[in-house]
Amino acid sequence: MLADYAVRVEDSHGRRYPEPSHPYRNDFQRDRDRVIHSRAFRRLEAKTQVFTRRYSDHFRNRLTHTLEVAQIARTIAAQLDLNVDLVEALALVHDVGHPPFGHAGEKALDAVMRRHGHFFDHNLHALRIVEDFEQRYAAFRGLNLTFEVREGIIKHSHDYDVKEFPELGEYLLDQRPPLEAQLIDLADEIAYDAADLDDGFESHLLTLERIRGGLPVFDEFYKQAGKSWPDATDQLIFNEVLKCLLDRFVSDLIRNTQKEIRAAGVHSVQDVRGHPQRLVIFSPEIEEERKQTKNFLYETLYYSPSLDAEKKEGERIIEELFEFWMAKPENLPTNYQEKSEQEPLPRVICDYIAGMTDNYIYEQYAKYCGPPAW
């Protein structure tokens, strides 16, 4: 049963290119499947989340992170009586626009683009991927996803001004996205907060003492788990604490969103779209813990000196390759050379680099600029 404020597939705004219905899959299920079978989705397996494979094959990459987001988002959606098929499609597609080398790569690509009067935004790049770059069908370019999935790609985590982005006007930028899209951003954050604590601890960049000292809620759960399992190893106690943290964040998001929905008096998708604020939010107490966790990870892990060398190397590789192709575009693949006749060269090079895996960009750098410093 779907809530009154959930998106119903039969009310979808449809696809850019009309297609006949499928006999046993609805349109949002077909969108999910198209994302899973896309090249951009497969490439996530070889893109850095936080740690490269130089540390361990056990750590998250973009693909495993995406799967964790999908699991969390489905759980939340089911409890809120939202459209789980739409939520799953949005969760699986939400990171396909990320370049190699994680957030360091995104930062570097945006910086070099701005030197040439442009910018890089991974949400907008994801839209370009599903609308144009993926070529799997004879009848049209792109994946021909439903309006609701395309809208969610750009609006799940960011509000765009139609005056600044007139080309996105069809996506109702003056309205809130449906709840199915709203929950993706916080499911994403829940997933990576827990995962990055986990990988940071296993990498030995974060110690138990530092985590317990920096995160009071973690420390409290650790004390409780230690009393329940006094003979368990530190790693197993740590795992129990992560389960408690995940449950705390997910449960609060469900309960508080239900409270916000009741208080707002929304009874339809249009009510959600017209509401002044987003309705999928944490309670004030948990929101404070979320901020504390995020700040802790930035201070102790993301900006760790141990990761700094790889981040800077990734940024340098992107910058040097970008400027190499700006100076010598004849070294781009033929299809990208052809694209540069219709689009600005910086955008074409950006598209090429953003689609690369970590492995492939190393190969291209070695081919054109010499071996990396390490």
Write down the domain spans for the chain. Answer: 9-307
Rounded Cα gap, residues 124 and 158, in angstroms = 11
In contact, 372 and 317? CB cutoff 8 Å = yes
- Compute how many other C-beta atoms are within 10 angstroms of the C-beta atom of residue 163: 8
- Compute how many other C-beta atoms are within 10 angstroms of the C-beta atom of residue 179: 30
* Torsions phi, psi for 262 (to 5 deg): -65, -45
Q: Which residues contact 39 (CB under 8 A, 6 or more apart)?
A: 134
Whole-number Cα distances in Å, 189 to 6, 27, 193, 229, 304:
22, 27, 6, 29, 20
- Compute how many other C-beta atoms are within 10 angstroms of the C-beta atom of residue 259: 13
Beta bridge partners of 135: 142
Rounded Cα gap, residues 328 and 323, in angstroms = 8
pTM exceeds cut of 0.85: yes
Rounded to 5°, angle at Cα 181 from 348 and 239: 100
| DSSP notation for 202-242 | HTTSS-HHHHHHH-HHHHHHHHHHHHH-TTS-HHHHHHHHH
Helices (H), 116-178: 122-128, 147-155
Q: What is the pLDDT along the chain (374 residues), one digit of tens a residue?
A: 899 999 999 999 999 999 999 999 999 999 999 999 999 999 999 998 887 666 667 788 999 999 999 999 999 999 999 999 999 999 999 999 999 998 899 999 999 999 999 999 999 999 999 999 999 899 999 999 999 999 999 999 889 999 999 999 999 999 999 999 999 999 999 999 999 999 999 999 999 999 999 999 999 999 999 999 999 999 999 999 999 999 999 999 999 999 999 999 999 999 999 999 999 999 999 999 999 999 999 999 998 888 888 889 999 999 999 999 999 999 999 999 999 999 999 999 999 999 999 999 999 999 999 876 55
At residue 17, the pLDDT reads 95
At residue 373, the pLDDT reads 56
- Nearest residue to 103 (alpha-carbon basis) of 317, 290, 311: 311
Q: Does domain 9-307 have CATH number 3.40.50.1980?
A: no
Beta bridge partners of 15: 146
Task: Please report where in the chains the tokens 């990171």 appear, as a residue.
Answer: 95
Distance of CA 227 to the CA centre of its chain: 37
At residue 306, the pLDDT reads 86
Q: Which two tokens stand for residue 333?
A: 């693949």
Label residue 6 left, alpha or beta by phi (over 0 means left) and psi (-120 to 50 means alpha). beta
What three-state secondary structure class fits 310? helix
Helices (H), 275-327: 284-297, 305-327
Helices (H), the chain: 27-36, 39-43, 62-79, 84-93, 102-115, 122-128, 147-155, 179-202, 208-214, 216-228, 234-264, 269-274, 284-297, 305-327, 334-339, 345-354, 358-368
Residue count of the chain, please give it: 374
Rounded Cα gap, residues 98 and 296, in angstroms = 23
